Amino acid sequence: MTDRSMDAVDPIARSPEIEGSMDAADRDDRSPGIDRPTHRSNRRPADIFDFVERYVDDYWLYGSGKVALRDVVAAMLPSQSDRAVCRRRRFGREEPSDRRWNVLLPAYVPDAVPEPLRELGVEPRYYVISPELKPSVADVRRRVDGDTIAIVTIDYFGFPQPARERVASVAREYDCYLVDDNAHATLSVSDGHLLGTRGDAGVTSLWKTFPVPNGAICYVRNEALRGRFEQSDCSGVRGTLTGADARFVFTRAIRRALDRRPGLSRRFASVEERFYGAGVAPPAARYEAAKRPCSKLTAVVCARTDPIAVRDRRRQTYRAWLDACARSTGVRPLFGDLPEGICPQCAPVEADRPGRVRNRLTAAGIDVHTWPRLPTLVRETPTYATAQYLADHVLALPVDRRVQPEQVASVGASL
């Protein structure tokens, strides 16, 4: 549960304790909002948790969306006795119990997202998506089978997945669960629904929208699933601030100070590399590193953040990028409209020459990257040519506080 008593803690003023072994007493494991009625008032939400509670009665905090996904899928796995019954029901006979379960994921997905499935011994099975980021429902149908326990859809970059209902109908037909992955944008609302809450279960990552070290929210909407859902020791909020929190605050402060000075910023990046290592760790190692509860700093920041101000600001910068794209022939926004309620994670654009745009924007002090690093199987299989193309050509233009709308207007010509 979100421990509101932490409101009294000043994350910066209090000296953080060095991160070390943590026992149960250090964590607040209570699940938030359970038995607390949703209060859909017109009053401006006071903070992030208040905002979320307008849409759901209960939710669970985690350190990472991937670990939340693991706990959710673990709850979906049939027990030995369920398996026998369900096999008899589906096939009129018992099947050997060592069948391998699978979960369907879109091919356009970061390489570490399938790791929790592998940990559970579940096969990640990738389905094809279109250049508009929609699942190919025909491909979903080709891959789904009697061993599929769930189908995941992604609300890319904070925009609702338009083909979700069609995928949901396949999930219903095959009697498997639907997971609404809204890792990208905690505050996006579409047709009155908070994204991430429209499946049997869903996740959203706090650190992708707010300046916090880690954190995710898990939603379990299906009643039966909720009864089986057991939170691992990576759920809840840490009881104390840690060395990792201090490192996050320190690094962020330096980065902000250097943001307008690209030369110095590059030098700081190389010092950072010397301390923390260069390159990106393999996906399994990143998943292991994510196995920790929600940081106390994350919870404190979220309990003091005005969600509407964050959303308005991101939307304003997003519109500035749309204007800049309209003046360019080399980049095209993936989402040319910004419907009401959407809180974009970034402004994703398809660039003909992504390297050139990236270099120009980096020189202007704007941090831009392609997204995502694909799983090896997707990267190497010709069937996933669209996901490969998107991973090489889609640039995530920032809309967070590090970039001002006026700055976007002035660099627009660089696109």
Q: How many residues does the chain have?
A: 415
Residues 6+ away with beta carbon under 8 Å from 311: 187, 343
Q: Check if the beta carbon of residue 369 is closer than 8 Å to that of residue 349.
A: no
Quick one: angle between helices 262-276 and 243-258, nearest 10? Answer: 160
Closest residue to ligand PLP using C-beta atoms: 65
At its nearest, how many Å lie between ligand PLP and the CB of residue 156? 7
Residue with Cβ nearer ligand PLP (65 or 354): 65
At its nearest, how many Å lie between ligand PLP and the CB of residue 390? 13
Query: Residue 176 and residue 71: Cα distance in Å, rounded?
Result: 16
Write out the H or E segment, with its range, that includes residue 313. Answer: helix 307-326
Query: Residue 295 and residue 212: Cα distance in Å, rounded?
Result: 8
At its nearest, how many Å lie between ligand PLP and the CB of residue 227? 25
Residue with Cβ nearer ligand PLP (65 or 307): 65
Residue with Cβ nearer ligand PLP (211 or 412): 211
Residue with Cβ nearer ligand PLP (218 or 310): 218
At its nearest, how many Å lie between ligand PLP and the CB of residue 371? 8
Query: Residue 127 and residue 204: Cα distance in Å, rounded?
Result: 21
Residue with Cβ nearer ligand PLP (216 or 320): 216
For residue 33 the two structure tokens come to 């909002």
Pairing label, strands 148-154, 177-181: parallel
Binding residues (CB under 6 A) for ligand PLP: these are: 64-66, 109-110, 113, 154, 181, 183, 205, 216, 290
Residue with Cβ nearer ligand PLP (64 or 197): 64
At its nearest, how many Å lie between ligand PLP and the CB of residue 376? 17
Residue with Cβ nearer ligand PLP (66 or 83): 66
At its nearest, how many Å lie between ligand PLP and the CB of residue 281? 13
Query: Residue 295 and residue 241: Cα distance in Å, rounded?
Result: 7
At its nearest, how many Å lie between ligand PLP and the CB of residue 56? 18
Write out the H or E segment, with its range, that includes residue 89. Answer: helix 80-91
Query: Residue 40 and residue 310: Cα distance in Å, rounded?
Result: 20
Query: Residue 205 and residue 103: Cα distance in Å, rounded?
Result: 20
At its nearest, how many Å lie between ligand PLP and the CB of residue 42? 31
Residue with Cβ nearer ligand PLP (113 or 324): 113
Query: Residue 265 and residue 256: Cα distance in Å, rounded?
Result: 9
Residue with Cβ nearer ligand PLP (307 or 348): 348
Query: Residue 151 and residue 176: Cα distance in Å, rounded?
Result: 7
Residue 200: exposure state from Cβ atoms within 10 A (0-12, 13-18, ≥19): buried
Q: Check if the beta carbon of residue 148 is closer than 8 Å to that of residue 103.
A: yes
Task: Please identify which residue in the block is written with the tokens 């944008």.
Answer: 185
Write out the H or E segment, with its range, that includes residue 151. Answer: strand 148-154
Residue with Cβ nearer ligand PLP (109 or 310): 109
At its nearest, how many Å lie between ligand PLP and the CB of residue 266? 24
At its nearest, how many Å lie between ligand PLP and the CB of residue 159? 12
Q: What is the DSSP string of 340-393?
A: TT---SEEEEEESSHHHHHHHHHHTT---EE--PPPHHHHH-GGGHHHHHHHHH
Residue with Cβ nearer ligand PLP (32 or 213): 213
Query: Residue 316 and residue 313: Cα distance in Å, rounded?
Result: 5
At its nearest, how many Å lie between ligand PLP and the CB of residue 123? 18
